[in-house]
Amino acid sequence: MKKFLALLILSTLLAASAPAFPATSRLFTAKEIKKNNETIYEIGFRLLNANKIDKRMTFSYSTKDNVNASTSHINRNIIIYDGLIQYISTEDELAAVLAHEISHAVDSYNGIFRGYLEFVPHIFIPRKYERKADQRAVDYMVNAGYNPVALIVIMNKAFPQYRYEVLGTHPLTSRRMAMIYEYIYTKYPAFLVNNPYQNNVYYQNFLLNSEHNRKKFAQKVKTGSKKKIRYDY
Ligand SMILES: [Zn+2]
């Protein structure tokens, strides 16, 4: 079993010759702001309810073209910008982005004065919170019936690749995707064994660009090591 699972990690581009990427109908429609807003609220609240998150937060769509989403620590409003919406093709991908932001909004309630000072550690150790939000996003998605592999898909499709993370607020996207892959594999392996994203062009590209990191992970699985992997650029 272990051997099979280690092979699974390394099974790159198995379906490279399979017919390309199935046609997807777009989730969002240009200029239909009300409809786009409603799609965002509905999936956001579905994630909250399915995960029994009893902290209040709201969701909004912004027509600004930043390829980003953000969470206000002041009023717990989660915004997805149109620049990122342009990349989102499926409900799973939208749920991935919202689930990550929900983690930040949940954290904004921690600590004294109703979480008033919670932004401080986010400034000094932001990448710790980003890693936590990526892991929680996987859990939140699974609990709400979404496929967590979509978190890797949307990142590989839309998030750029910087050279160094030392001054960055986020870990490098390559590292984030490898850590998410490891987390899904460890906690929810069924999503990788029966993976409907196997032929997805963005997932295939992740398999291609993460081969060195997945080799590191396969080695960890093979040896049974518990050591945290430092994934490469
Ligand atoms: Zn974040």
Phi-psi region of 13 (alpha: psi -120 to 50; beta: other; left: phi over 0): left
Model confidence over 130-178: pLDDT tens digits?
A: 999 999 999 999 999 999 999 999 999 999 999 998 878 888 999 999 9
Q: How far is the CA of 223 from the centre of ligand 1 (A)?
A: 32
pLDDT of 22 reads: 43
The distance in angstroms from the start CA to the end CA of the chain is: 30
CA of 3 to the centre of ligand 1 (A): 34
Please give the pLDDT value at position 15. 42
Report CA(154)–ligand 1 centroid distance (Å).
14
| Tokens at 62, concatenated | 């912004």
In 11-90, which residue ranges form alpha helices assigned H by DSSP? Answer: 33-50, 82-85
224 Cα–ligand 1 center, Å: 30
Taking 90 as the threshold, does the pLDDT of residue 106 lie above it? Answer: yes
How many other C-beta atoms are found inside a 10 Å radius of the C-beta of residue 141?
27
**Cβ count within 10 A of residue 39:** 20
Q: Where are the alpha helices (DSSP H) in the chain?
A: 2-10, 33-50, 82-85, 91-107, 112-115, 119-124, 126-143, 149-158, 173-187, 190-193, 201-209, 211-223
Q: Which residues contact 150 (CB under 8 A, 6 or more apart)?
A: 90, 92, 93, 95, 96, 141, 197
How many angstroms does the Cα of residue 174 sit away from the middle of ligand 1?
15
Mean pLDDT of 15-20: 41
Residues around the ion ligand 1 (C-beta < 5 A): 130, 133
Per-residue pLDDT at 75 exceeds 50: yes
Q: Is 204 helix (H, G, I), strand (E, B) or coil?
A: helix
Distance CA 213, CA 207 (A): 10
More confident residue, 128 or 46: 46
Distance 104 CA to ligand 1 centre (A): 7
**How far away, in angstroms, is 98 Cα from ligand 1 center?**
10
Q: What is the pLDDT of residue 8?
A: 73
Q: Where are the domains of the chain?
A: 23-188
126 alpha carbon to ligand 1 midpoint, in Å?
A: 8
Task: For the chain, give the percent of residues with pLDDT over 90.
Answer: 71
158 Cα to the center of ligand 1, angstroms: 14
